Amino acid sequence: MKKDSDSSKLHELYSSEEIKKRVQELSFAISNDYVNRELNIVGILKGAFIFLADLVRFLTIPCYIHFLRASSYGCQKITSGQVEIQHTLNLAGKHILLVEDIIDTGLTLNSVINELRIQHPASLKICSLLDKPAARKTSIKVDYTGFTISDKFVVGYGIDFSEHYRELPYIAELKN
């Protein structure tokens, strides 16, 4: 299928250089905080795959990398509120850092956190590239945030609209 890449709909918010600089800062902060602990990074697929790949390459400490799949959006711009989680993780007693692309209502992350807490990890922290606090429906403490943005729909750098635009190296607002 041909990809919709109508660039007139895209308004760049963060260039790949700006993203790289911020991801490096986050990675150094994480390296510092986990210096004497075994770090287990859990990426939330699919949206976090590029962010996670860049983040781990700036770490100055070793880490384990895991993934789980969470989906709530389907093909809409508004969350369905129904979150489906798929994983085979066993992280009991481990230090978990959840890596997410973007937090909107918080419902996805809330479901993931509840699912992982059942396993009694030693600690559980959150790292999200983007945060849209205006849309929040549940309170979530985000430990590491790349950029805080207003309530707009964004794509690129792993983030999609109906599986389009993930490959863009920058982050853009998707206009109607």
- Contacts to Mg ion by CB under 5 A: 47
104 is an active site residue: yes
Whichever of 34 and 131 has its CB closer to ligand IMP, that residue is: 131
What is the crossing angle of helices 16-33 and 49-57, to 10°? 60
Of 5-64, which residues contact ligand IMP (CB under 6 A)? 47
Question: CB of residue 172 vs ligand IMP: minimum separation in angstroms?
Answer: 10
Beta strands in 34-122 (DSSP E): 39-45, 63-71, 84-86, 95-103
Amino acid at 133: P
User: DSSP secondary-structure letter at 161?
Assistant: B
Rule CB under 6 A: choose which of 99, 103, 116, 168 binds ligand IMP.
103
Q: Taking CB under 6 A as the rule, does residue 102 contact ligand IMP?
A: yes
Q: How far is CA 42 from CA 45, 57, 115, in A?
A: 9, 15, 13
Question: CB of residue 168 vs ligand IMP: minimum separation in angstroms?
Answer: 12
Amino acid at 100: E
Any idea which residue has 């085979």 for tokens?
88
Whichever of 61 and 133 has its CB closer to ligand IMP, that residue is: 133
Token pair for 130: 């983007």
Q: 4, 6, 101, 104: which one is catalytic?
A: 104
Give the CA angle between residues 103, 58, 31 to the nearest 5°: 80
Rule CB under 6 A: choose which of 27, 41, 43, 101 binds ligand IMP.
101
Catalytic residues, by residue number, are: 104
Q: Which residues sit at the interface with ligand IMP, rule CB under 6 A?
A: 47, 72-73, 79, 100-109, 153-155, 159, 161
